Amino acid sequence: MASILVVDDEKIIRDGCVKILGKEGWAVRTAVSGEEGLGLVENETFDLLLLDLKMPGLSGMDVLQQVRSLHPDLLVLVITGYATVESAVEAMKAGAYDFIPKPFTPDQLRIVVHRALEKRALQREAELLRKEREKGLREIADEKSKLKTIIHSMADGVLVTDHEVHVVLHNPAAVKILRMKTSPVFGQPLQDCLGNGALVDLVSKITQVTKEGSSAVSQEVVMGEMALMAHMATVRSEEGEVLGVVTVLRDISMLKAMDRMKSDFVAMVSHEIRAPLTSVEQQLSVVLAGIIGEVGERQKEMLGRAKERTHALLTLINDLLDLSKIEAGFVVQQKEPTQITEVLEKVFEVLRHEAESKSISLQLSCSEELPPVMADRGNMEEVFINLVSNGIKYTSVGGAVNLSARIEGSHLCVEVADNGIGISAEDLPRIFDKFYRVKNAQTRKITGTGLGLPIVKGIVEAHLGSIEVESQPGIGSKFRVYLPLELSAKGKT
């Protein structure tokens, strides 16, 4: 039975959590302050901590930091009001697993707690498997027993099919996830094992991967209210012949439900605060312009800072709204034949003055007669304004940013290259993560939300394209966006 600690100074929240979570069979303890909660965490073992961020005395952030140092494996869900979304984001950066806004419904609480406890169970299972592997795998006599032991211990479903798409290996998790009435028999055709009509696409995709010999393919499969992610990879002989396909199945239903809830929350909060912030920024502009009276130098300085912060908040809100659209699948508004050269020329004109203000050379070069691509023009402008603006932002005075486009095989490649500060090999794999920003002495004074590159990646992938980057510290960075050309031909016919 899972053990949950609720730390909140509001009695109605504590009592509500005890009533709702207690009905699920979980043991729930409560604390009215951060100090009391820390005392319980130090003396007892919990699977999950629900922590209010806004409490008198020791704040939720202070409690979170101490809990992370005492029990780094303890999952923490922060409870926050709608007006403190930034605090929730900061808490997640500090190590919280997730957040839930007040007021919340019983279903919302159950969903977020179920998801957290499932993650906790997987962590424990992984740790148990690690310990068992260290001890038990040495004692396993042959390779077949070892493979069976590992696969049957996995929480994810595993299916191994041969070159004729007949089942040769599976684990109990696969039977449960795919809702098979009986376990497959060795050598049985996969399509005969899956009675659910929604899984026809899965069988077809495994068959396609087997015939084409694709190295690795992922596909989302929907079964009623359940959503699965299927990862397929070919198994080859030493001579390179395709022997079969290994398919790993993961239930992502809860993940998608939480993503929808968080996207709805972000969109709601962003819409509610964007209008008043826009009004504040406009009024500050009027005051700074001296329209309603003379403004002193000291006043201008302070009002200017206030306007900068307001503009930064509006930028964050717009980025969050863009991100929620991408996650909801609504990023592409209207695809039409688009001349990328025209888009790049507009981007060049928009950012030319920004580059000149830093004495940065901004150059644009495109191959002649580039074919159009099927794309949303507004999306494409946002992608390349973001990439070029980043290049200018992270390039020192007197540097250069080059924007170019060319055809590479079946794709149109747009490259944004700079000779700026570059990105370390350690940071490079994470630059497309939400809210991640490279932190060092050179970037300390550069502002940003950490959402620009995730938005760029989301837009590009929504156009069935891809983005790649190569970078070295002190030398510079090159971002390349690849957009498919074959879709352009289909769009013309």
Residue 442: give its domain's CATH number.
Answer: 3.30.565.10
Domain termination site, one of 103, 127, 151: 127
488 shares a domain with 404? yes
For residue 389, is it within any domain?
A: yes
Q: Is the dihedral of CA 84, 89, 92, 98 positive or negative?
A: positive
245 shares a domain with 158? yes
For residue 415, is it within any domain?
A: yes
346 shares a domain with 288? no
For residue 133, is it within any domain?
A: no
Domain termination site, one of 251, 276, 291: 251
Specify the pairing of strand 411-418 against strand 373-375.
Answer: unpaired
364 shares a domain with 316? no
235 shares a domain with 306? no
207 shares a domain with 263? no
CA distance 458 to 460: 6
Domain termination site, one of 251, 285, 304: 251
Biggest CA pair distance of the chain = 88
Q: DSSP readout, 108-167?
A: HHHHHHHHHHHHHHHHHHHHHHHHHHHHHGGG--SHHHHHHHHHHT-SSEEEEEETTSBE
Q: DSSP readout, 295-314?
A: --HHHHHHHHHHHHHHHHHH
413-455 confidence digits (pLDDT tens): 999 999 988 888 888 888 888 777 776 666 666 666 677 788 8
Q: What local confidence, expressed as pLDDT, does residue 479 receive?
A: 94
Residue 96: give its domain's CATH number.
Answer: 3.40.50.2300
Residue 275: give its domain's CATH number.
Answer: 1.10.287
Structural domain for 205, as ranges: 142-251
Q: Which residue matches tokens 């004692």?
A: 139
230 shares a domain with 324? no
Q: What local confidence, expressed as pLDDT, does residue 491 receive?
A: 41
298-307 confidence digits (pLDDT tens): 888 888 888 8
For residue 440, is it within any domain?
A: yes
Q: What local confidence, expressed as pLDDT, does residue 323 receive?
A: 64
For residue 134, is it within any domain?
A: no
75 shares a domain with 45? yes
Is the previous residue joined to 473 through a cis bond, with omega within 30 degrees of 0?
no
Residue 228: give its domain's CATH number.
Answer: 3.30.450.20
CA distance 428 to 438: 9
15-47 confidence digits (pLDDT tens): 999 999 999 889 999 999 999 999 999 888 898
80 shares a domain with 67? yes
Task: Report whether 433 contacts 454 (CB < 8 A).
Answer: yes
Q: Please count the CA atoms within 13 angstroms of the CA of 43 that sit on its side-chain side.
A: 7
Give, rounded to a whole angstrom, the gap between the first and last alpha carbons of the chain. Answer: 61
488 shares a domain with 340? yes
For residue 132, is it within any domain?
A: no
Specify the pairing of strand 216-223 against strand 167-170.
Answer: unpaired
For residue 63, is it within any domain?
A: yes
Domain count for the chain: 4
Task: Report whether 183 contacts 175 (CB < 8 A).
Answer: yes
Specify the pairing of strand 242-251 against strand 157-162.
Answer: antiparallel
Q: Element (H or E) spanning 211, and its range?
A: helix 200-212
479 shares a domain with 422? yes
Q: Which two tokens stand for residue 209?
A: 């991967």
Q: What local confidence, expressed as pLDDT, does residue 326 receive?
A: 63
Per-residue pLDDT of the chain (493 residues; tens, 9 = 90+): 889 999 999 999 999 999 999 998 899 999 999 999 999 998 888 989 999 988 888 888 889 989 888 888 888 988 887 546 677 788 888 888 888 888 888 898 999 899 888 888 888 888 777 766 555 445 544 556 667 777 888 888 888 888 888 888 888 888 888 888 778 877 888 888 876 665 777 888 888 888 887 777 887 777 777 788 888 888 888 888 888 888 898 888 887 777 677 666 666 666 667 667 777 778 888 888 878 778 788 888 888 888 877 877 777 776 666 666 666 555 555 778 889 999 999 999 988 888 898 899 999 988 778 888 988 888 899 899 889 988 998 888 889 999 999 998 889 999 999 998 888 888 888 888 877 777 666 666 666 667 778 888 888 888 889 999 999 888 999 999 999 886 444 444 3
Measured CA to CA in angstroms, residue 71 lies from 38, 78, 90 at distances of: 11, 16, 19
179 shares a domain with 56? no
For residue 288, is it within any domain?
A: yes
